[in-house]
Amino acid sequence: MDPLHSHPLSERAELQALEPWQAEEFHEFVERARAHIAPWLLWPTTIDDTAKAERWLRRYAEHRARDGIRLYGIRLDGRLVGGVGFSRFDADTGVCELGAFTAPEAQGHGLVTRAAAVLTDWAMVTRGLSRVEWRAATVNVRSIAVAKRLGMRREAVLREAYLMNGVRHDLEVWALVAGRDGERGDVLRGPVARSGEGV
pLDDT value, residue 182: 58
Rounded distance, CA 199 to CA 194, Å?
12
Rounded distance, CA 106 to CA 12, Å?
12
pLDDT value, residue 2: 60
3-state secondary structure at position 99 = strand
Q: Tell me which residues of the chain have a pLDDT lower than 70.
A: 1-4, 182-199
pLDDT value, residue 123: 95
Domains in the chain: ranges and CATH:
6-193 (3.40.630.30)
Measured CA to CA in angstroms, residue 64 lies from 69, 116, 150 at distances of 6, 17, 24
Identity of the amino acid at 172: E
Helix 184-193 with 111-121: angle, nearest 10 deg: 140
For residue 44, the tally of other CB atoms under 10 A from its CB is 19
pTM: 0.87
pLDDT value, residue 3: 55
pLDDT value, residue 93: 97
Backbone angles phi, psi at 109, to 5 degrees: -110, -5
pLDDT value, residue 122: 94
Helix 23-37 with 50-65: angle, nearest 10 deg: 100
Q: What is the pLDDT of residues 9-29, one digit of tens each?
A: 989 999 999 999 999 999 999
Rounded distance, CA 87 to CA 15, Å?
17
